[in-house]
Each structure stands twice: as C-alpha cells, then as structure tokens.
Amino acid sequence: MTENSSTKTTTSRRGAIRTLAGAAAGAATMPLWARYTHAQSAEPIRIGFQVHRTGIGAAYGRWYDRTTQAAVELINEGGGINGRPVEIVAEDDGTDPKRGAEVVEKFANQHGCDIGFGTLFSHVVIGSAPRAGELKLPYFVVSEGHHVASGMLNRYTLQPGITDVKSQVQAMAPYVTRNLGKKVTMVFPDFAFGHDHRDFFTEAVKREGGEVLAHIAIPPAETSFTKYFPKIPRETEVLYHVMVGPAVLTFVKELGEFFGPQRPEMFGFIDSLEAVAMDSPGLEYLDGTYFWEGMPRHVQADQSDHDKFYREAVGVDNRGASVSDPTDISTYAHMFGCWETLHVVKEAMETAGYAGPGDRAALVEAVEAMTDMPHSRSHPQGAKVFNGKTHQVFGHQYISRVEDGRLVKVHTTSIEDTFYPDEVDYTKRAL
C-alpha cells in the first residue's frame, strides 16, 4: 500500500523526468527500443481504477477489470507512456456513490494517482465526480451516461472512450421507424437510465414521424413482469425494451409467454443481455428481434483486424465469451470503453508531455483538443469524434438482428446520426 511516502521521491525525480519528457514529447515517433531506455529509472504512471467489484455493477466490473489489464499490458509492452510504465491501482466502490467519492479521495490523496478512471454506473459517477473536480483529479469515466455532456459535472470529468445514451438512442430512431414500425411502445426501468431512454427516444421518434403509444415504467428490482404486459396497446408495431438487471431473462421469457407467436417487432438494447449468452434457454423468443449493440459481440463477416486483435488481447472468443470459460459471456458492448479510454489517456499524456500531477490541467486541455479518432487498434469499436467542449465522444452505433441465437449486424449508423446540439462548454470553466 503506498502511503504518501512516494511524494518525497517524485519531487526529486520530477525535475529529471521533466527534461526527459520534454525530449520524449514526440514519443510517438521514437523507435521501440528508445522508449525503454528511461523505463527502469522512471516512476510509474498511476491510474486509479474505480471498479464495481461488488454490488449491482459487479458483472460489468469484472470485465472492465480484464479489459483494463489487457490494455495496460499492451501499452506497457509498447514502452508505457512517455517512457514510464503504467500501473493500475484498483479500488472497489461497491457500486455506491458515497463509497465512490471516498475512493476518488483515496486515489488522489493516499495512492498518489495521476488520474482516476473506469466508473460505469451513472449514480456513482455523479456522486464521485464532484470530488474529482475539487481535487483537480482528471476523471475519465466509462459510463455511457449523458451526465457528462449535460453540463452537470466539472471540467476534470471526461468521457472520451464510450458514447452516451442520448446519442445512442437518438441514432436508433431512423432505423426503427423506417424498418420496424412507426407505432412504438416503450418498456423501461423506472429510474434515470430508463427515463433517459424514454425521453430521448420519444423525441427522436417524433422527429421521424413516428409515435410512442405508451410508456411502461417498471419499478426497480421488479422480478416478475407479466402483470405489466396487458398495458401494451394492441396496435403496437414495435416494442422497445431496455430492461436491465438480473431479472432480464425472466422479462424475455414472460414476454414470450404473454405474446406467444403473434408478437410485434421488438427492439432492445444489448444492455439487457450483457454477460448473458444469446443462446441461453428461454431466450429463443428473441429470434428475429433487433438489438442496439455498442460493439457487435459475435464476430461478423466484415470483422476488422482491430477487432480481431482486441478480442485476442482481452481473451474473448468469436461469441464474445471468455476463452477460458465459454459460459462466461463478456460485457462486450461496454468494456471497449476502458480500452479506448486508456489509449486516449496515453495519447493525451504524450501530447501534453505529462510528467506528473502538476501537469493534470495540461492533460485535460490535451484531451479537449482531440477531435478525430480513427478506427485503429486503439479504437477497435470504430472511428470516433471527440467534442472537447462537452467532454463527450461520439461514434458509430450498430444494430443487430438475432438469428438462431447469433447476433448478426444489419446496420451501422453514421457518426453524424448520433450528434445533438451542445449543452455545455466546459472549456469556458476554470481549471
């Protein structure tokens, strides 16, 4: 456990590293061997990884952890950042906002981390980000929440590795209304995540000339859903569902039991079925239905080399399951966010010549200056565009159809489809 003892050594080394970092500012151009010359004498870059090890986020936390370790291994093999190896300091936040804030403090004040990273659940992000802002700790969240771009948070909180729910939902409306139907009924969990879907999708559908017939909000932690289904209007053409949590399999099963063979078209978000195998018993009902996928879980015919490399590095097979345990399905649509965020951090630290906590502000500015992120090993999910003002990245969204227990990609949105007007300009705030 590192107490503040490390601060004494970093102050004396900082001068040396600064000059070295200055020379290595164009590190991207240096050959591999040169990057190691300073590695041994260099203090590691400490990244505080706020992971949901326990609590309701635990299933995601596990895969976030594996992807993070894989990304860090890759980065360190390539010489680290500015010649310094990357060290992950992980702390469990129990998927609880209060503990999340405490963990952020621990990263900044006790572990001496350079940045904080990795939070997923929105309420934990919102609970922890204020503390990161006060401590001036660059806080890279991998949350999919719209909270960053909404302006609620602070200039030190950024989401450059994963797109947010507003852009995802909005981009689905054109495909749904054109291909599946114009009369939609939405079933969603009655908390913030569900409300975001409700609000953003209803708006987007209206723009496309469609109409949402009914909003069915299901209380949190509900375990049986049949009693809600009669509220679905008969004229529904498309059933839009985003149920999350352990009860999802029940939801699908009971949906099947309720509708039987005459069901409307169905469109869901793969959030419902992250870490669940598509060929699980009870999910046969989903055959022929559609899903939003953040990143196609099953290997597609047009698989890129980057996706192949990424799967191998993280240890998932062609079905998105762990190579060591085929029953362990990954949270493929989200975990890429960790990989991409860490690569963004690397790029920004190298651009800014990051040498230590004194350069945190420069690091934030370097990220804000980023725009195009091409499809590459660093960004295996696809090309992206980062909005420095809103601290949010935008990217391609994918729609897949379930065919015989496999997810087959049928549509890729353009990045422009996912844009919405800026709601904040963080660059105007002081650092």
Partner 1 sequence: MSATRRSLALHGGLIALLFALQFVLPDYHHGNLARIMVLASYAVGYNILFGYTGLLSLGHALFFAAGMYGMGLTIQHLGFTPAPALVAGLVTGIVVSAGLALLALRTSGVAFMIVTLMFAQAGYLTILYFGEYTRGDEGFVIQQAERVLWGIDLSDPTNRYFAALILFAICLMACLHLVQRPFGKTLVAIRENEERVRMLGYDTFAHKLGAMIVSGTISATAGAVYGLLFGYVGASFASVQYSIFPLLWVLLGGAGTVLGPFIGTLFMFYLIDFSSGITTAYMLIAGVALVVLTLFAPQGLTGELRRRLWRWLP
Partner 2 sequence: MDFGPYILLASLEGAVTAAVLALTAVGLSLVFGVMRVVNIAHGEFFMLGAVIAWWVAQSMGGHPAVGFAAALVIAPLAVAAIAVAADMTILKRLDYDPERTIVATIGLLYIIQQVTLMTYGPDARPVEAPFDTRLAIPWIERGEGGWQLYWPWGLGTTSYKLAVIGAAVAVLIGVWLLMSRTRIGLVMRATQMDRDMALAFAIPVEKVYALVFGLGAGLAALGAVLIVPIQQAHYLMGADPLLLSFIVVIIGGLGSLPGTVLAAVFIGLSDGIISVFFSPTLAKILATLLVGMVLVFRPQGLFGSRTA
Nearer to partner 1, 122 or 381 (CB): 122
**271 near partner 1, judged by CB under 8 A:** no
Residue 84 DSSP code: B
Handedness of CA 313, 319, 322, 323 (dihedral sign): negative
Secondary structure (3-state) at 286: helix
- The window from 39-47, 97-105, 358-366, 368-376 that contacts partner 1 (CB under 8 A) reads 97-105
Nearer to partner 2, 59 or 361 (CB): 59
What does 87 interact with, of partner 2, partner 1, none (CB < 5 to 8 A by kind)? Answer: none
**324 near partner 2, judged by CB under 8 A:** no
- The window from 187-195, 271-279, 290-298, 354-362 that contacts partner 1 (CB under 8 A) reads 187-195
Least Cβ distance, residue 350 to partner 1 (angstroms): 29
Secondary structure (3-state) at 394: strand
- The window from 41-49, 154-162, 166-174, 240-248 that contacts partner 2 (CB under 8 A) reads 240-248
Least Cβ distance, residue 297 to partner 2 (angstroms): 15
Out of 25, 30, 179, 191, the only residue in the binding site for partner 1 (CB under 8 A) is 191
Place of tokens 């597609």: 300
Q: Which of 84, 65, 71 is closest to 14 using CA atoms? A: 84
Place of tokens 């994963």: 162
Nearer to partner 2, 59 or 383 (CB): 59
Out of 6, 10, 37, 54, the only residue in the binding site for partner 1 (CB under 8 A) is 54
Size of the site for partner 1 (CB under 8 A): 37
**164 near partner 1, judged by CB under 8 A:** no
Contact at 8 Å (CB) between 377 and 306? yes
Contact at 8 Å (CB) between 113 and 86? no
CB atoms within 10 A of CB 201: 27
Distances in Å between the alpha carbon of 89 and those of 57, 110, 212, 398? Answer: 19, 11, 46, 33
What are the residues whose beta carbons fall under 8 Å from the beta carbon of 88, sequence distance 6 or more? Answer: 47, 49, 68, 69, 72
- The window from 25-33, 51-59, 105-113, 401-409 that contacts partner 2 (CB under 8 A) reads 51-59
CB atoms within 10 A of CB 282: 13
**192 near partner 2, judged by CB under 8 A:** no
Nearer to partner 1, 195 or 411 (CB): 195
d(CA 61, CA 72): 16
> Judging by DSSP bridges, how do beta strands 115-117 and 157-158 pair with one another?
unpaired
d(CA 49, CA 223): 32
- Contact residues toward partner 1 (CB under 8 A) are 1, 3-4, 53-54, 91-92, 96-98, 101-102, 105-106, 108-110, 122-123, 126-127, 129-131, 133-134, 145, 147, 152-154, 190-192, 195, 219-220
- Contact residues toward partner 2 (CB under 8 A) are 54-56, 58-59, 61-62, 190, 216-219, 221-224, 226-230, 234, 245-250, 253, 257-260, 275-276, 280-282, 328
